[in-house]
Structures are given as structure tokens and as C-alpha cells.
Amino acid sequence: MIKMLKTLMWRGFGLLLVIGLALLWVLWDARPALAQDNTVNYTYSQLANQDFSEKNLRGAVFAAADMRGASFENSDLSYAILTEGILLNANLKGANLTGTLLDRVTLDFADLRDAILTDAIATRTRFYDSDITGADFTGAVIDTYQISLMCERADGVNSITGVSTRDSLGCKE
């Protein structure tokens, strides 16, 4: 009986050791994704009228930043976080916003001509009077009301993706 208990105890210890090592391996492998040492962080920054044209801002954080009149022309903002950002009159012409989080962003009067917003999340985001000519919204999550407003003025074809703005928004003819 004692020999059987010792065997079970060693097997249990071995199992715990294997599980512990597996967890360490998984956590160690995920470490770069958790650390994000090289992430540019402009949270709560005052960036009005700043020029970020032609910049690689992939994965950058602009949460609650004031970016009125800022220029991001032809910049890579893919997978960036712009939550609660203010982009009134901002220039996003030709910007890559693929997979970007644009939750509760104000994009009124912004220039989004030829921008790529594929798979972006733009819930509770305003696009009032923004120029969306040639913008690609394929797979983007946008409030139905905003889509209906954008469909009234949607026009053009994106020069990079070849997708029409109307088709990417799902506008009815």
C-alpha cells in the first residue's frame, strides 16, 4: 500500500512538473506580445497640427489624444489604438489603418481619401463630412447609422486594394 502511494505521489509530482513547464513555455513564448517594449504611446497627448506623414506607426497607441489638424498622410497606422481620439480636420489621406481600433473617435471633416480601413473597429465613431473618396472599409465594424451617412457620399476606388468605397461599405445601389 505504501509503495503504491509513493508511486502515485511521484506520478502526480511528474504530472505537475510537466504542466508547470508547459505553462512556463507558453508564457515565455507570449512574452514579446505582452511586453510591447517598442510601442509608441501618445495616450492623452496634445498632438494638434503635428506632422506624422509617411511614418511607420504600426501598433502605436493614441488613446484619448487630441490630434486636431494632424497629418498622417501615407502613414502606416495598422493595428494602432486611436480610442477616444479627436481627429477633427485630420489628414489621413492614403493612411493604412488596417485592423486599427477607432472606438469613439471623432473624424469629422477628416481627409480619408484612399485610406485603408480594412478590418478596423470603428464603433461609436463619427465620420461627419469626412472625405472618404476611395477609402476601403472592407470588413470594418462601423455603426449602421454612420454607414448610411457615408453611403450618401461614398465614391471612388482605392488605388492600393482596388476596392470601391461603396462596395466596401455595403452600400445599396
| Percent of the chain with pLDDT strictly greater than 90 | 76
How many whole angstroms separate alpha carbon 132 and alpha carbon 163?
A: 13
Q: Indicate the pLDDT class of residue 173, thresholds 50, 70 and 90.
A: confident
pTM: 0.78
Tell which wins on pLDDT, 147 or 28: 147
Look at residue 32 in the predicted model and tell me its pLDDT: 43
Question: Mind listing the domains of the chain with CATH numbers?
Answer: 40-172 (2.160.20.80)
Residues 158 and 114 sit within 8 Å (Cβ to Cβ): yes
Q: Indicate the pLDDT class of residue 11, thresholds 50, 70 and 90.
A: confident
User: For the chain, what is the radius of gyration of the CA atoms?
Assistant: 23
Residues 44 and 65 sit within 8 Å (Cβ to Cβ): yes
Q: Which candidate, 66, 98, 111, 79, places its Cα nearest to that of 168?
A: 98
